[in-house]
Amino acid sequence: MCRPRPVAAPRAAPCSRQRAVRVQAGGNGTNPAAPYKQLEAISVDLSAFPNCNFFRVEALIRPWRLQKVTEQLNAAGIRGMTVSDVKGAGEQGGRKERYLGTEFGGDAKNFLVEKTRLDVVVARGQVDTVVRLVATSAHTGEIGDGKIFVHPVADVIRIRTAETGAAAERMEGGMQDMTGIKGI
């Protein structure tokens, strides 16, 4: 089971971190875009969930970056993922953007911006790799690049075979098969 460690009342929540990496553009002059090397070095603090073996990496990215992101994940052996089109509001604030003749974004009446949500459930040892691949391949350095969230997953069950845990999460031809390292 994935249970967070108990925390004393006056202390910070177990998921909070002293140092966070913000990937934002310098368009507003206050927060410069993260250098690419910083994205390649992202490390996710999973210490709040020491008994959790699986995590869901949820990424909200620009729709036109999806192909690059999925190609990078596939090349690394990450096979299982779910993709959905979503709308939302954030720092981009509904500003339109254009890419290859297609317009993305909101207008004066509707400030919601089109994004793509990518969900990947992976073993604990793959979280950093997936987060780094998504961050580097979705990065443009502009406001609206997106966000990545990491959620604990209690268990994985494959419906067809009733397998649970690592057997259910494992994808044939995936990262474990490519590297030969068990447990990733």
Q: Which tens digits make up the pLDDT trace of 46-104?
A: 999 999 999 999 999 999 999 999 999 999 999 899 999 998 877 666 566 655 556 65
Q: Is 123 exposed, middle or buried (0-12, 13-18, 19+ CB in 10 A)?
A: buried
- Closest Cα partner for 91 from 21, 147, 131? 147
- Residue pLDDT, tens place only, 112-157: 888 999 999 999 999 999 999 999 999 998 888 899 999 999 999 9
Q: What is the pLDDT of residue 35?
A: 77
Strands (E), 27-184: 54-61, 82-88, 97-99, 102-104, 113-123, 146-153
Which amino acid, 144? G
- In contact, 131 and 44? CB cutoff 8 Å: yes
- Closest Cα partner for 135 from 26, 41, 46? 41
- Give 177's pLDDT tier (boundaries 50, 70, 90): low
- How far apart are the C-alpha atoms of 30 and 18, rounded to whole Å? 20
- Residue pLDDT, tens place only, 25-50: 334 445 666 777 888 889 999 999 99
Is pLDDT larger for residue 98 or for residue 7? 98
- The distance from CA 180 to its chain's CA centroid, rounded to whole angstroms, is 24
- Give, rounded to a whole angstrom, the gap between the first and last alpha carbons of the chain: 19
What's this model's pTM, rounded to 2 decimal places? Answer: 0.72
- The distance from CA 86 to its chain's CA centroid, rounded to whole angstroms, is 15
Q: What is the pLDDT of residue 184?
A: 58
- How far apart are the C-alpha atoms of 136 and 154, rounded to whole Å? 28
Rounded to whole angstroms, what are the CA distances from 44 to 20, 29, 64, 72?
10, 27, 26, 19
Q: Report the largest interatomic distance among the alpha carbons of the chain, rounded to a whole angstrom.
A: 54
